[in-house]
Amino acid sequence: MATQGWKNFALNDNTSSTSYPKNLMLLSRDTVYETQRNTTAPNSTAYARNTTAQLTVNCNLASTIATGSDFELFEAQSTMSSPKYSIGNTDNTTSSTTLDTPSGNDWQIERITLTANMDGTARVDISLVDRVDFA
């Protein structure tokens, strides 16, 4: 069976409103600086730093569609606090590290996408953002 060995979607702490899914993999992390018109001082420019992160979890589909599942709890969240994610190393091992925001605040969850595969597995993609405005 294709789903053997696939883990259920699970949160590290399903009692916290800022918890993160277990078995996260980091896909990308980008920081963009943009200029904005300063509305309080029209002759100057304001700057913003937007940091985004794309994470994914491969899991068993049944664990995402069950009523009262950790996935349902996660979908109700608007923020995520310092998630731990895995990265692949050149020697075919993985390491775990923490994804902190540059601002020190919680990550804002921008989008959660669930993709169901025909073999009973699923992929959950998570888009996070950390926005900081500078005067």
Domain presence at residue 5: no
> 87 near 77, Cβ under 8 Å?
no
Inside any domain, residue 19: no
| 3-class secondary-structure state, position 78 | coil
pTM, to two decimals:
0.83
With CA atoms as reference, report the closest residue to 52 among 87, 75, 35, 28.
28
Place of tokens 């992929």: 123
Instruction: Provide the residue range defining the domain that includes 121.
Output: 25-134
Distance CA 132, CA 51 (A): 9
Is residue 48 situated within a structural domain? Answer: yes
Residue 68 lies in a domain: yes
* pLDDT per residue of the chain (135 residues) written in tens, 0 to 9: 444 557 999 999 989 999 999 999 999 999 998 887 666 766 777 788 899 999 999 999 999 998 889 999 999 999 999 999 887 778 888 788 899 998 999 999 999 999 999 999 999 999 999 998 775
Q: Which two tokens stand for residue 73?
A: 């709890």
Indicate the number of domains in the chain.
Answer: 1
